[in-house]
Amino acid sequence: MNLDLRPLTVSEFLDRTFSIYRHRFLLFVALMSPQAVLKVAAALAWGLATASVADSKDFQFEKVIGLIIAAGVGGLVFTLLHWILYVLGAGATTAVVSDLYGHATPDIGSAFRVAAGRIGPLLWLTFLMAVRILGVLLASGVVPGFLIGLGGGMKAFDAASGPVSGGILVVGIVALILFVLAALALILFMALRYSVAIPAVVLEPIGGREAIRRSIHLTRTLFGRAFLLMICTGFVGWAAAMVLQVPFVIATILVGPETRTGFWLNLAGTATGTAGQTITAPIAAIGVVVLYFEARIRHEALDLQVLTEALAPPPAPPLPGLAVAPPPVPH
């Protein structure tokens, strides 16, 4: 593929994203497959464990307690492993797209090596983003939670305060709805601002906090493209789930989820749904890398920088393909 460095129109931006995905389909699916295998294995283990408890003729408290403990420990291990595999897949995808921009030939091994070399900053970056988003969600429930608790407490301890406590409860519920909607809008805004942070960590390379500031700086005029990419990839993922997973969900409901056939149908639905996510997830990861290069071309004349450096080659080529050092981030 000949990925020239130039400003793209909106249609060209989407076309380049899907063109890269189409031409290297198997490679990108392979990069995302480790987390898919983990998810299916976890679903199978959980299904077999719950089925063994449900099939027991006599209720055994020890088995239930053991299942709860195993679920807690297994859930923690699964979350950590899935997190690591996710950032490795996203980082490797970034390396592959960067190699394509640099007219290099990407492969799975070199892509994962680049991602593994940046695993620490990638984990720290995604942790920071998750904490900020979770903080917004929790903050949205503070005032409504106080009002709901105050109204419920007044009603419980003073029956005569029924109208007042009822009014406070209504205000608290309305406030909860409004605050949650506002929090979701803010989270969407944050997601758009942070959209190119992962490519910045892998390609420049910088730390997690610097990557967030860098992403905010680069995406300041490209919110429309980031939002359009989010809508398109979300729709593609939804369509894949409808085609691959929903038929098994319907079949499970018809035969009964508690039956043995229902168990295997549900597991098959989980596998096909995970396959759909694995197939479609690279589109978003590719798109944010294309957006990263687009932002650097528009705001920092990356195309001219690469052309200038090509006239006087550096002693050692950067890795991956176009890991060109950025200018200082303005404060």
Confidence check: pLDDT of 143 > 90: no
Distance from C-alpha of 127 to C-alpha of 19, rounded to nearest angstrom: 31
Tell me if 4 is assigned to some domain.
Answer: no
pLDDT (0 to 100) of residue 61: 67
Distance from C-alpha of 158 to C-alpha of 168, rounded to nearest angstrom: 14
Q: Exposed, middle or buried, 81 (CB in 10 Å: 0-12/13-18/19+)?
A: middle
pLDDT band at residue 274 under the 50/70/90 scheme? confident
Q: Which residue has the tokens 């991602």?
A: 115
Distance from C-alpha of 197 to C-alpha of 289, rounded to nearest angstrom: 10
pLDDT (0 to 100) of residue 14: 92
Query: What is the token pair recorded at 70?
Result: 């195993």
pLDDT (0 to 100) of residue 258: 74
Tell me if 153 is assigned to some domain.
Answer: yes
The pLDDT of 192-219, averaged and rounded, is 93
pLDDT (0 to 100) of residue 68: 81
Who contacts 74 (Cβ-Cβ below 8 Å, separation ≥6)? 42, 45, 46
Tell me if 315 is assigned to some domain.
Answer: no
The pLDDT of 212-225, averaged and rounded, is 92
The pLDDT of 85-106, averaged and rounded, is 92
**pLDDT digit string, tens, across residues 247-256:** 888 888 888 8
Coil, strand, or helix at residue 92? Answer: helix
Per the prediction, the chain carries an average pLDDT of 85
**Which residue has better confidence, 315 or 143?**
143
Rg (CA), the chain: 24
**pLDDT digit string, tens, across residues 61-76:** 676 787 788 788 888 9
**pLDDT digit string, tens, across residues 112-136:** 999 999 999 999 999 999 999 999 9
Distance from C-alpha of 147 to C-alpha of 169, rounded to nearest angstrom: 7
Q: In total, how many domains does the chain have?
A: 1
Coil, strand, or helix at residue 72? Answer: helix
**Global pTM?**
0.82
Tell me if 187 is assigned to some domain.
Answer: yes
Q: Please tell me the chain's helix, strand, coil percentages from 3-state DSSP, rounded to the nearest 5.
A: 80, 0, 20
Percent of all residues in the chain with a pLDDT value above 70, rounded to a whole number: 85
**pLDDT digit string, tens, across residues 223-233:** 999 999 999 99
Range of the domain at 220: 10-309
Tell me if 257 is assigned to some domain.
Answer: yes
Distances in whole angstroms, Cα of residue 183 to Cα of each of 122, 139, 143, 175, 176:
25, 8, 13, 12, 10
The pLDDT of 153-170, averaged and rounded, is 71
pLDDT (0 to 100) of residue 240: 87
| DSSP H or E stretch at residue 154 | helix 142-157
Q: Which of 116, 126, 111, 105 is nearest to 28 (CA)?
A: 111
Tell me if 252 is assigned to some domain.
Answer: yes
The pLDDT of 307-324, averaged and rounded, is 59
Tell me if 327 is assigned to some domain.
Answer: no
Distance from C-alpha of 254 to C-alpha of 279, rounded to nearest angstrom: 28
Distance from C-alpha of 196 to C-alpha of 249, rounded to nearest angstrom: 35
**pLDDT digit string, tens, across residues 174-203:** 999 999 999 999 999 999 999 999 999 999
Q: Which of 136, 125, 96 is nearest to 194 (CA)?
A: 125
Query: What is the token pair recorded at 129?
Result: 């983003």
pLDDT (0 to 100) of residue 48: 75
**pLDDT digit string, tens, across residues 4-51:** 888 889 999 999 999 999 999 999 999 989 988 888 888 888 777 776
Q: What is the dihedral of CA 252, 231, 79, 26, to 10 degrees?
A: 80
Tell me if 203 is assigned to some domain.
Answer: yes
The pLDDT of 80-109, averaged and rounded, is 92
